[in-house]
Structure 1
Amino acid sequence: MDTEKKPLRADARRNYERLVEEAKRAFAARGVEASLEEIARQAGVGIGTLYRHFPTREALVETVLRERFDGQAAAARELLISPEPLSALKTWLAGMGRQSASYRGLPELMVDVLDDETSPLYASCHAMRDEVSQLVERAKASGELRADVTAHELLVLLHALSWASEHLSGDEGLERLLDLVFAGLRAN
């Protein structure tokens, strides 16, 4: 059985690209719960076309976030050579937190799919957890991070902080919350 997707026709490719661009705009303006019908309308296609390309909301969100996730994964790999493992972990978490807070409702969605193997976001979330796990293990090995902290716990905590930072004024909300949390995460 051939599991590779066939290349899209030129018109289907244009529809796909317009849908992704309109989804980015809609998610930025109204959050990840933005109307799929409105996204399709703004892209100049019917809702059926949207669902042919993206059978679920999570599939559309995953496509919109894939580039960001790839960037965060690359950032984690680069930070693995940092001479300050705890600082590297905090830097990565701050970047991921900013990504998570970029679309209203995304932190809740991300936490919901961490354990939902049927979600299109599941694989991306677990790939992200695998990347941050290496940073966590390095920080623990250096003696800077508590030995009982897991990458999964940090990602759930990060999404909670991202959600909370949406309700704080100023650009430093997430950074301040991470500072407070990291004060408690340091090894004694």
Structure 2
Amino acid sequence: MKSATTEKVLRRDAAENRQRLLDAAAAVFSERGLEVGVDEIARRAGVGTGTLYRRFPTKEALISELVRQVFSDFVAAAHAAQTAPRGEGLEQLMYGVGTVQATNRGCLSRVWNDDETAAHKREFRTILGELLDKAKSHGRIRSDVGLTDIDVVFWAMRGVVETTRGITESGWRRALAIMIAGLRPGAEHLDATPVTEDEFDQVVARFQPPARNDPDSQSGGVS
């Protein structure tokens, strides 16, 4: 019979292996995209493929957990931004989201359409709306900026992050600083209409990957 101490060590080792696999997957996917095989992820984590499959029965399960962690980080950044003074929380959050995106380049295409993160998405956008209202009330952001305008900024940042992968880590920061400058009060009138919530939903739906019916996508044999 296993002692309580032995079981505790085993649970700790399992948790550490799981996190090593997630860290390795984030790094490998960021470098080479989602097409990379799980064998490479296991090698990077320093564990066997059998260990990987015990933690994540399919490659899809591994990707889904990475996406969940990304949105969990988004929500954590949003909560931290709520304590910022003088309406500065929105900008703090925007830079926080950029940082999370930059360290999780490989799975960005899946962030907005994973069903497992629906609750995180709702919480994140609720806080985002509150921070936007505070930024407006403190005169940091122009009054005609809407929530979907900030969504578009996040999408634009994602594009810069993905485009500059492996070349520069500061490109998205410069782009975001320019976009925030354009959100300041006093800028000229905006003729273009904002993206509507319905259009936002349609864009998110467009990111949804096609259903995969091949057996490998549902089994440990995925590469």
Q: What TM-score, normalized by structure 2, do the two folds share?
A: 0.60
Cα distance in 2 between the residues matched to 1:58 and 1:150: 31
State the 1:173 CA deviation.
1.6
Kindly report the root-mean-square deviation, in angstroms, between the aligned alpha carbons of the 2 structures. Answer: 3.2
Q: 1:49 aligns with which of 51, 54, 61?
A: 54
Partner of 2:126: 130
Cα 1:12–1:22, aligned 2, differ >3 Å: closer, same or farther? same
Is 1:164 aligned to residue 160 of structure 2?
yes
Partner of 1:183: 181
What do the CA deviations read for 1:132-176 (whole angstroms, capped 9, x no partner)? 222111112234323343334413422421331343454432221
Preserved CA contact (<8 Å) 2:82 2:89 = no
What do the CA deviations read for 1:40-65 (whole angstroms, capped 9, x no partner)? 56533536423459973443214543
Cα distance in 1 between the residues matched to 2:40 and 2:102: 22
Cα distance in 1 between the residues matched to 2:168 and 2:126: 31
Give the unaligned 5+ runs of structure 1. Answer: 1-8
Cα 1:35–1:15, aligned 2, differ >3 Å: closer, same or farther? farther
State the 1:91 CA deviation.
2.3
- Percent identity reads 23
Cα 1:109–1:23, aligned 2, differ >3 Å: closer, same or farther? same
Cα distance in 1 between the residues matched to 2:59 and 2:16: 12
Cα 1:134–1:58, aligned 2, differ >3 Å: closer, same or farther? farther
Partner of 2:89: 88
Q: Relative to structure 2, which stretch is displaced further, 88-97 or 138-147?
A: 138-147
3-state DSSP class of the match of 2:141?
coil
Cα distance in 1 between the residues matched to 2:69 and 2:176: 26
User: Greater CA radius of gyration, 1 or 2?
Assistant: 2
Cα distance in 2 between the residues matched to 1:97 and 1:125: 16
Cα 1:62–1:107, aligned 2, differ >3 Å: closer, same or farther? closer
Preserved CA contact (<8 Å) 1:28 1:103 = yes
Preserved CA contact (<8 Å) 1:145 1:186 = yes
Preserved CA contact (<8 Å) 1:76 1:132 = no
Amino acid at match of 1:130: T
Higher relative contact order (CA 8 A, sep 6+): 2
Q: What TM-score, normalized by structure 1, do the two folds share?
A: 0.69
